[in-house]
């Protein structure tokens, strides 16, 4: 029985590890893109002497929502793969990507643990 538990735990940890790796790389890459684009826009606005404070904040917010929309699309694809689409997590991800990613990973982990517990209970009986 302990060998079976180790195999089940190994697959769960491997799956969660892959998701953590995927989303941590995604967070870093999209953050660098967002920061780079925002810095570029700020430099352009400074060069043309526009009302840069208000315009920069608006453009930064626009980039933030565009990046969060990318997160929503990627999370939605993974949710469909896991067969657990949660619209509240997708909405939260649109407004705050880090909280949405955290809750997504938490829900996937919980679902997989419950699935493995139910499969273990079926094997016992």
Q: What would the pLDDT profile of 68-121 be if each residue is shown by its tens digit?
A: 999 999 999 999 998 889 999 999 999 998 899 999 999 988 888 888 777 776
What's the total number of domains in the chain?
A: 1
Confidence of residue 10 (pLDDT cuts 50, 70, 90): low
- Which residues contact residue 93 at a Cβ distance below 8 angstroms, ignoring those fewer than 6 apart? 68, 71, 72, 75, 99, 100, 101, 104
- Rounded Cα distance between 121 and 6, Å, is 16
Domain, as residue range, for 72: 2-124
Q: For the whole model, what pTM was predicted? A: 0.75
């Amino acid at each position: 029985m302990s060998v079976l538990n180790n195999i089940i735990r190994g697959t769960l940890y491997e799956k969660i590890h892959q998701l953590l790796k995927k989303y941590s790389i995604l967070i870093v890459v999209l953050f660098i893109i967002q920061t780079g684009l925002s810095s570029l826009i700020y430099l352009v606005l400074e060069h043309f002497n526009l009302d840069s404070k208000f315009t920069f904040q608006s453009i930064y917010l626009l980039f933030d929502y565009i990046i969060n929309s990318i997160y929503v699309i990627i999370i939605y694809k993974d949710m469909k793969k896991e067969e657990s689409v949660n619209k509240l997590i997708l909405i939260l991800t649109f407004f705050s990507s880090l909280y949405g990613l955290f809750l997504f990973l938490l829900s996937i982990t919980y679902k997989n643990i419950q699935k493995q517990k139910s499969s273990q209970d079926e094997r016992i009986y």
